[in-house]
């Protein structure tokens, strides 16, 4: 080693390394491919409101059901707008907007039967409202006055899951329980059931989701995995997560995968109906990719303008799920019907605001409730210590 001596420092300097061998410059990395805009999947209703055909599926919704779909989607969007406003005014801790995904949620929720069970992630407000969950119960968790929201048994729908993709494992476990209970594949429509679980494109990159796929495929669990591919996992585009359509992931696990135009409520209803029937009959799991778009921030704490291209928003606004169904219905409904639907939605939003503002904060000691089915000694001691500590300030 060579030694360099200075007036106040002695440092060791390694011998000079060999000259590097020149290497040709690497070509610039190719950009991630854009999602195939012309391949939206199964489509039965075009963006201009005209009916189209698909060789694989037929529309199952009649005129009355289409009116119900439209009403549910308008209601969901209006309640979503009101909840966003409440959060901006400091009345909710957080809100998770669903704008743009109304058709994916309402169309799929309408395919669920009484013996089925639903596992949402955290954005499925339209699913909950369409299934009869009171609007106010959906915001309780986000108001910070409850550990959860609604009565799970009453609505056959689990509460929201914040931890990404963990609900997929819960869904498979529930589905395997249905198999053990003998409520799958009996041929009795009053007995057979299946599980519908929602996840996002970001969750498709999680280990939990892929483990759920393995378990479901290995044991024939009656689970329909419905991925709402809204193109953005917070700020990460779906095309960066997967170079292929997400529905094709099912091929590797050995069960069917179907891509659907997620802004087409008729296609979502038809495909989800088929998938749930397949699962109820003992056919095993199905993956549905609803190709849709989140026309709002990931949550109200997010600034989507930092990453969503303006031209992309313009493109997807032209595919608005509510507008395309309105165009279909316009020739057949009475004059003023659309205004009546909007007025009812406005009334529901006003009711939601009043209910939200009337929700008082719970007593601090409720933190210790609903943790275990039976209170443990440790939890009891913690609750008693906390109560004594709190009372010392009174």
pLDDT for 335-384, tens place per residue?
A: 899 999 999 999 999 999 999 999 998 888 888 887 888 999 999 999 99
**pLDDT 10s digits, 80-114:** 999 999 999 999 999 999 999 999 999 999 999 99
Say what angle helices 265-280 and 102-109 make with each other, to 10 degrees.
40
Give, rounded to a whole angstrom, the gap between the first and last alpha carbons of the chain.
Answer: 73
Nearest to 289 by CA among 227, 381, 331: 227
The answer to whether residues 304 and 390 belong to one domain is no
DSSP character at residue 50: -
88 located within any domain: no
The answer to whether residues 275 and 328 belong to one domain is yes
203 located within any domain: yes
Helices (H) then strands (E): counts for the chain = 14, 9
The answer to whether residues 325 and 283 belong to one domain is yes
Report the range of poorest mean pLDDT among 24-33, 252-261, 272-281: 24-33
The answer to whether residues 275 and 208 belong to one domain is yes
Contact 90, 220 (CB under 8 A): no
The answer to whether residues 278 and 388 belong to one domain is no
45 located within any domain: no
Sign of CA dihedral 99, 103, 108, 109: positive
Contact 76, 129 (CB under 8 A): yes
42 located within any domain: no
Q: Is residue 31 very low, low, confident or very high in pLDDT (cuts 50, 70, 90)?
A: very low
Average pLDDT, the chain: 90
Burial grade of 181 (CB within 10 A; 0-12, 13-18, 19 or more): exposed
> Residue 91's pLDDT is what?
97
The answer to whether residues 317 and 283 belong to one domain is yes
The answer to whether residues 388 and 264 belong to one domain is no
List Cα–Cα distances, 145 to 86, 272, 287, 367, in angstroms.
15, 34, 35, 10
Domain with residue 311: its CATH number is 3.40.50.970
The answer to whether residues 309 and 385 belong to one domain is no
- Would you state the structure tokens that stand for residue 231, as one six-digit string? 């193109």
Taking residues 59-70, report their average pLDDT: 97
**pLDDT 10s digits, 175-229:** 999 999 999 999 999 999 999 999 999 999 999 999 999 999 999 999 999 999 9
Taking residues 61-66, report their average pLDDT: 97
**Other beta carbons within 10 Å of 82:** 22
Give the residue numbers spanning the domain of 382.
364-394
Residue 9 has pLDDT above 60, yes or no: no
Q: Give the chain's domain count.
A: 2
Taking residues 131-151, report their average pLDDT: 91
Q: Is residue 163 very low, low, confident or very high in pLDDT (cuts 50, 70, 90)?
A: very high
The answer to whether residues 217 and 241 belong to one domain is yes
Q: What is the DSSP string of 349-370?
A: HHHHHHHHHT-PPPPGGGGGTT
Q: Is residue 45 very low, low, confident or very high in pLDDT (cuts 50, 70, 90)?
A: very high
Q: What are the CB-based long-range contacts (under 8 Å, 24+) for 248-254?
A: 249/204, 249/213, 249/287, 250/213, 250/286, 250/287, 253/213, 253/214, 253/216, 253/217, 253/285, 254/217
The answer to whether residues 343 and 387 belong to one domain is no
Cα separation, 95 vs 2, in Å, equals: 64
Taking residues 1-21, report their average pLDDT: 44
Considering the chain, what percentage of its residues have pLDDT values greater than 70?
A: 90
313 located within any domain: yes
Contact 260, 41 (CB under 8 A): yes
Residue 28 has pLDDT above 90, yes or no: no
**pLDDT 10s digits, 292-336:** 999 999 999 999 999 999 999 999 999 999 999 999 999 999 989
2 located within any domain: no
185 located within any domain: yes
Residue 17 has pLDDT above 80, yes or no: no
> Residue 159's pLDDT is what?
95
> Residue 19's pLDDT is what?
56
The answer to whether residues 240 and 383 belong to one domain is no
> Residue 38's pLDDT is what?
52
> Residue 298's pLDDT is what?
96
337 located within any domain: yes
Non-local CB neighbours of 242 within 8 Å, separated by 6+ positions = 201, 204, 205, 249
Contact 70, 235 (CB under 8 A): no
The answer to whether residues 263 and 371 belong to one domain is no
> Residue 387's pLDDT is what?
94
């Amino acid at each position: 080693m060579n030694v360099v001596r200075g007036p106040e420092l002695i440092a060791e300097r390694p011998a000079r390394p060999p000259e590097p061998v020149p290497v040709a410059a690497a070509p610039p990395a190719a950009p991630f491919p854009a999602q195939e805009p012309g391949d939206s999947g199964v489509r039965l209703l075009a963006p201009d409101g005209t009916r189209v055909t698909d060789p694989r599926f037929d529309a199952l919704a009649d005129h009355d059901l289409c009116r119900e779909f439209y009403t549910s989607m308008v209601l969901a969007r209006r309640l979503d707008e009101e909840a966003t406003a409440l959060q901006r005014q400091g009345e909710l801790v957080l809100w998770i907007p669903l704008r743009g995904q109304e058709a994916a949620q309402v169309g799929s929720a309408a395919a669920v039967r009484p013996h089925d069970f639903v596992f949402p992630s955290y954005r499925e407000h339209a699913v909950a409202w369409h299934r009869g969950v009171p609007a106010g119960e959906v915001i309780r968790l986000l108001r910070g006055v409850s550990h959860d929201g609604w009565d799970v048994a009453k609505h056959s729908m689990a509460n929201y899951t914040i931890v990404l993709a963990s609900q997929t494992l819960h869904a498979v476990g529930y589905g395997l329980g249905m198999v053990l209970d003998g409520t799958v594949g009996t041929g009795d429509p009053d007995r057979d059931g299946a599980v519908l679980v929602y996840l996002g494109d970001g969750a498709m990159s999680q280990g939990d989701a892929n483990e759920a796929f393995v378990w479901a495929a290995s044991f024939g669990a009656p689970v329909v995995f419905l991925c709402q591919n809204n193109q953005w996992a917070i700020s990460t585009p779906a095309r960066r997560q997967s170079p292929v359509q997400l529905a094709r992931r099912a091929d590797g696990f050995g069960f069917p995968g179907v891509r659907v135009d997620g802004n087409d409520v008729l296609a979502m209803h038809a495909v989800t109906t088929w998938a749930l029937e397949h699962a109820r009959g003992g056919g095993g799991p199905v993956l549905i990719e609803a190709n849709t778009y989140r026309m709002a921030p990931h949550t109200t704490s997010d600034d989507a303008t930092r990453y969503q291209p303006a031209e992309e928003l313009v493109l997807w606004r032209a595919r608005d799920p509510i507008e395309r169904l309105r165009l279909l219905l316009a020739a057949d409904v009475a004059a003023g019907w659309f205004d009546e639907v909007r007025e009812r939605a406005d009334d529901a939003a006003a009711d939601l605001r009043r209910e939200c503002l009337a929700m008082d904060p719970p007593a601090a000691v409720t933190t210790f409730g609903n943790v275990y089915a039976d209170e443990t000694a440790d939890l009891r001691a913690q609750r008693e210590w906390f109560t004594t500590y709190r009372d010392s300030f009174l």
